[in-house]
Amino acid sequence: METWTIQKLLNWVTQYLTDKSIDSPRLSAELLLSHILGLKRIELYTQYNQPVAKQELEKLRELVKRAGGHEPIAYLVGKTEFYSMEIIVTPDCMIPRPETELLVQRAVEFLRTRNGIQFICDLCTGSGCIAVAIAKNYPNVRIIATDICDAALAVAVKNVEMHCLQDKIKLLSGDLFDPIIPQLDVGKFDLIVCNPPYVSAAEYEKLDKNVRDYEPRLALYAGDDGMDIYRRIIEKVDQFLKPDAALMMEIGYAQGQTIKEMLEQTGIFAEIKIEKDSHNNDRIASAKRYSLDQI
């Protein structure tokens, strides 16, 4: 009988995923194999010539087949990496994207310009990745993170616990700001962050199969023009931002101009910026509220 070593398997799976046009086939093969074998990725290479047991081969075959059908690797292995941290994911939440790391980076930079404990609100938290990454990198925070989907919040709970952030992040179930209103302890925030659903009806149809068929529609789709959630956030944001506080949101690749105008129309922001990501797409909208002496 043929012996399947880690090396042989890696090559075989990489080729299989390449033939099925899966993105990053080598990395995907490594992630699947290290998940099945309970090894770190680097250990696949230090144990390159080890044979793999039949039982594990069967488990791998099943996952590789699903990956070949465009099921996201992060769902198959139950986790992903975000801002150099492990984040648990399930099909109940969107998989954190590398572009969203830019939002965390800008948020942390903003927090470092301020003093004292910072009160933050993270809307549409999903897996909780933004709240967790902020709290890990700027510990002097209290974060309220909300989501309308209880199943997604259950994933956020696990991430908050895994990173031991229960005393910094409070997760609340409900639509955008709704669950915050009865919270008498926190009225206004120093920073509001959000990666809301922002895909338009036309874009939704054109999403890659791995996104459209597997990730929650609720986390992606935001009405005909993809702006539904921004409208509802921007309408209420002045009630929740302190003077001098900031609103930072992830936005779609071509939404910069429209979002900028929506933010300008509120009349509460001294400074509004639209920033592009590394692919030159609009990605982050940041707006800083007037300070008391500017009013």
* Residue located via tokens 């990173």: 163
Q: Does 211 bind ligand GLN (CB under 6 A)?
A: yes
The stretch near ligand GLN (CB under 6 A) out of 2-10, 32-40, 103-111, 191-199 is 191-199
Residue 128 near residue 143, CB atoms below 8 Å? no
In the complex with ligand GLN, which residue's Cβ is closer, 108 or 211? 211
Q: Does 286 bind ligand GLN (CB under 6 A)?
A: no
Rounded to an integer, what distance in angstroms lies between the CA atom of residue 221 and that of residue 137?
30
Q: Please identify which residue in 52, 102, 145, 199 interacts with ligand GLN, judged by CB under 6 A.
A: 199
What token pair was written down for 138?
A: 């700027």
What's the min distance (Å) between Cβ of 124 and ligand GLN?
8
Q: Does 220 bind ligand GLN (CB under 6 A)?
A: yes
Q: Does 198 bind ligand GLN (CB under 6 A)?
A: yes
Restricting to residues 84-123, which ones interact with ligand GLN according to CB under 6 A?
A: 97
In the complex with ligand GLN, which residue's Cβ is closer, 118 or 195? 195
What's the min distance (Å) between Cβ of 220 and ligand GLN?
4
Q: Does 82 bind ligand GLN (CB under 6 A)?
A: no
Q: Please identify which residue in 25, 128, 179, 197 interacts with ligand GLN, judged by CB under 6 A.
A: 197
What's the min distance (Å) between Cβ of 253 and ligand GLN?
8
In the complex with ligand GLN, which residue's Cβ is closer, 20 or 97? 97
Rounded to an integer, what distance in angstroms lies between the CA atom of residue 115 and that of residue 106?
16
Residue 153 near residue 171, CB atoms below 8 Å? yes
Restricting to residues 222-251, which ones interact with ligand GLN according to CB under 6 A?
A: 250
In the complex with ligand GLN, which residue's Cβ is closer, 30 or 147? 147
Closest C-alpha among 138, 130, 180, 179 to residue 159 = 130
- Helices marked H in the chain — which ranges? 6-19, 25-37, 41-46, 54-68, 73-77, 100-112, 129-137, 150-162, 201-206, 209-212, 228-236, 256-266
Residues linked to residue 274 through DSSP beta bridges, in sequence order: 285
Rounded to an integer, what distance in angstroms lies between the CA atom of residue 191 and that of residue 245?
6
Round to the nearest angstrom and report the end-to-end CA distance of the chain: 79
In the complex with ligand GLN, which residue's Cβ is closer, 148 or 207? 207
Rounded to an integer, what distance in angstroms lies between the CA atom of residue 174 and that of residue 182?
12
Q: Does 152 bind ligand GLN (CB under 6 A)?
A: no
Widest distance between CA atoms in the chain: 79
In the complex with ligand GLN, which residue's Cβ is closer, 260 or 283? 283
The stretch near ligand GLN (CB under 6 A) out of 46-54, 101-109, 113-121, 194-202 is 194-202
Rounded to an integer, what distance in angstroms lies between the CA atom of residue 280 and that of residue 131?
25
Element (H, E) at 180: none
Q: Please identify which residue in 28, 34, 146, 195 interacts with ligand GLN, judged by CB under 6 A.
A: 195
Q: Can you give the binding site for ligand GLN, defined by CB under 6 A?
A: 97, 195, 197-199, 207, 211, 220, 250
